[in-house]
Amino acid sequence: MTHRKEIIQILPLIYQIVVWVTNVLNQYEIFYIWGFNHESGNNMFKGKKVPHTFVIVFGFIVAAAILTWFVPGGEFQRESVEVNGQSREVIVESSFEYVESEPQTWQVFSALFDGFVDKADIIVFIIIIGGAFWIMNESRAIDVGIQTFLIQVRKLERFRTFRFLGVDNIVITMIMLVFSIFGATFGMSEETIAFTIIFIPLAISMGYDSIVGVSLCFVAAGLGFAGALLNPFTIGIAQGLSSLPLFSGIEYRLFCWVIINLIGIGWILRYAARLRKDPTRSPVYEEDAYWRKKEGVNIKEMKYHTPLSAWITYILLTVIMIIFSVRDPLITLKVGNGEYSGYFLPVITSLFAITGFFSLRKSIHFYILDLLAFTMVFLIVGVMGYSWYVKEIATLFLVLGLVSGIAMNSSANEIVKQFSAGMKDILTAAFVVGLAGGILVILEDGKVIDTLLYYMSSSMEEFGKVASVSMMYVIQTMINIVIPSGSAKAALTMPMMSQFSDLIGVSRQATVMAFQFGDGFTNMITPTSPVLIGVLGIARIPYEKWVKWIIPFMAVLILTGWLLLLPTVLMDLAGF
C-alpha cells in the first residue's frame, strides 16, 4: 500500500479525535477557562484582582531562580560546525558533565537589566515601530484605508456565493493563509510585530477584537512556522545537523501544513463567529476600548488634500529607487532551498512611480498607504534577498515614519513630538520583553539548561518507536518554553536527537518533525518569547487573558501535532 493511501486512511482518525476534543472544550466552556462565563459576563473570581503582566513574568523569573537551587549544574561541551553555509554551535555527543551549581538569589532583580541587554534588538525594534507608526497615524491614513477596504468588501455581499461563505470569513482566511505561507517558507516571526498595529484596527472595524487582529498575522505565521515547509531557520538547520537532504520529506510536511491550517484557521473563524453575534463576549472587550476609541473615522467627512511636501518626497524616493535599481538590478531571493533571480527592484520602482503618482492625485492619505504597502514589499525582498533582520527592518519603518511626517508637511519638532508619543505609548510592551528575557538569563546563569536537556534526553532510552518519537515531541515542546529560538534549539538538540534516533530505529526525518512541531506551537504561549510578549504589548492584551484564551487552542494543536507524528514511525512515507 502506498504512503498516500495510508495517509488517507488515517485522516478519519485525526478528524474524529480533533472534533471530539473541540466538542469537549466547547461543551464545558473551556473556550473561556478558569471561571470566565462568557454567556453571563460573570467571573467566579470577581472581586479578586488578576495579577499584572509584569507580576506574572516576574513570577516566572522567581520560579526559574528557585529551580537553580534544586537542579544540579551541568554543561555540554560545544563545537562549531558549518550548517548550510553558516557556523552553528552544537553539543558534542556524550560530553555532558556535572559542574558546580550557581543558585540564583539577588539575580532575580538584576535579570531585568540582563534581559534588556539580551533582548535589546527586539526592544529597540518595538520602540522604533511604535514611534514610526504614531507619526504615520497622525494622517489617519490607516483609518481611511481600513474604511475604504471594508466598504469595497461589503459590496461583495450582493453576490450569492460570497454571501453564503461570508465575506468576513473569506477576508480572515485569505490574510491568515498569506501569513502562514510566510511563516512556513522564510520563518516570519519578528516581522509580525509591525503588522499587529495594522490588523488590530482592521479586526476592530470588522466588529471583532484584538485577539482576532493578532490571529490574522501572529497566530497565522505561528501555524506556518509549526507546519514549516522551507523554513531555513528551523527545517534547514535541523535537517543540516541531521545529515539529511535539505528540505527533504516536503510531501508529508505539506500535508501537515494543510491539516494544521485547516484546524487553526477554522478555530479562529469559529471564535470570530461568536464575536459577530455578541462582541462583548470577547475576553479583552474592556481592553479593546483603547482601539475602539481610535476607530470610527467617517471617510465622507475627511478632508482630502495633497501638500507640496508629499510630491517632493515622492520625487526624491523615486530618484533614490531608480539609482538603486541601476546599481543592483538583479536580486536573488531565497525561498527554502530554491533561489529565484529577477529584476525585482526595477519592477518595484516602476510600480511605485505609477501608484505613487495616482495616490498623490487622490490624497495624502492614499499616498501614505502606498508608502506602507511598498514598505511591506521591501521588507519581504530584504528578508529573502538580503537576509535582513530586526535592525534593517526597524530602519525601514523608521524611514517610513519620517517620510510620512515630511509628506504631511509636519515640522521637525512636530515629527519628534509624534515619535516620542509613539515610543511612550509602546514602552510597556518593550519593558515586558526585557523582563521576559530575564527568565532565560536566570536559567543560563544558574547552569541548569543543559542539565534539564540531559535529563530529558536520557529519559527516552528504554522506549519503543511510538513512545520515543512522542517523548521527543514532549521534550522539544518543553525546551521551547525556555528556549523559544528555533535555530538555537535546533543547534542544541538535533545533533544528539538525530543520533539517538538511529539507535532506536526511528527515522531522522521523524526526529526533525518532532522538533518542528515542538518548536512551533508553544511559541504562541511561552512567556520567554520576545515576539509574543511584544505582540501582546502592542495589542494591549494582558498575558493572563491571552493564556486563558489560547490554552484550549494549544491543546488541540499539540494533539494534532502528535497525531501527525504517528505516521512518521508507522508508515512508509516519502523522504522518511
Q: Has residue 565 got a pLDDT over 80? A: yes
Q: At what angle do helices 390-407 and 412-445 cross, to 10 degrees?
A: 160
Same domain, 378 and 496: no
Q: Tell me how many degrees the CA angle 68-460-514 measures, rounded to the nearest 5.
A: 90
- % the chain with pLDDT above 90: 27
Same domain, 486 and 415: no
Question: Which tops the pLDDT comparison, 16 or 234?
Answer: 234
Same domain, 333 and 402: yes
> What three-state secondary structure class fits 76?
coil
Q: How far is CA 527 from the centre of its chain?
A: 13
Given 388, 420, 446, the domain boundary residue is 446
Beta bridge partners of 75: 97
Q: Has residue 101 got a pLDDT over 90? A: no
Given 427, 446, 465, the domain boundary residue is 446
- Contact by Cβ (8 Å): 548, 43: no
Same domain, 519 and 421: no
Same domain, 197 and 237: yes
Name the least confident of 146-150, 222-226, 343-347.
146-150
Same domain, 366 and 228: no
Which segments of 459-539 does DSSP mark as H helices, in order?
465-482, 486-504, 508-520, 530-539
Same domain, 123 and 215: no
Instruction: Calculate mean pLDDT across residues 114-124.
Output: 85
Pairwise CA distance, residues 538 & 324, whole Å: 34
Same domain, 492 and 434: no
Would 424 be classed as within a structural domain?
yes
Instruction: Calculate mean pLDDT across residues 139-146.
Output: 77
Write down the mean pLDDT value for the chain.
81
- Contact by Cβ (8 Å): 223, 517: no
Q: Which three cell numbers stand for residue 430?
A: 518593550
- pLDDT, residue 3, reads 47
- pLDDT, residue 322, reads 95
Instruction: Calculate mean pLDDT across residues 127-148.
Output: 82
Q: Give residue-wise pLDDT tens across range 347-396.
A: 999 999 999 999 999 889 899 989 988 988 888 888 778 888 778 888 99
- pLDDT, residue 453, reads 74
- pLDDT, residue 2, reads 45
Same domain, 32 and 101: yes
Total of domains in the chain: 2
Q: Has residue 67 got a pLDDT over 50? A: yes
Given 421, 446, 471, the domain boundary residue is 446
What is the domain extent for residue 508? 3-105+141-298+447-570
> What three-state secondary structure class fits 237?
helix
Q: Give residue-wise pLDDT tens across range 236-269.
A: 778 877 778 777 888 899 999 999 999 999 999 9
Q: Give residue-wise pLDDT tens across range 444-493.
A: 888 887 887 777 767 666 667 788 888 889 888 888 877 777 777 777 77
Question: Which tops the pLDDT comparison, 454 or 346?
Answer: 346
Same domain, 365 and 453: no
- pLDDT, residue 243, reads 77
Contacts of 460 (CB under 8 A, 6+ apart): 467, 468, 471, 472, 475, 500, 504
Q: Give residue-wise pLDDT tens across range 515-538.
A: 999 888 988 998 888 889 889 988
Would 575 be classed as within a structural domain?
no
Q: Which three cell numbers stand for residue 289?
A: 476600548
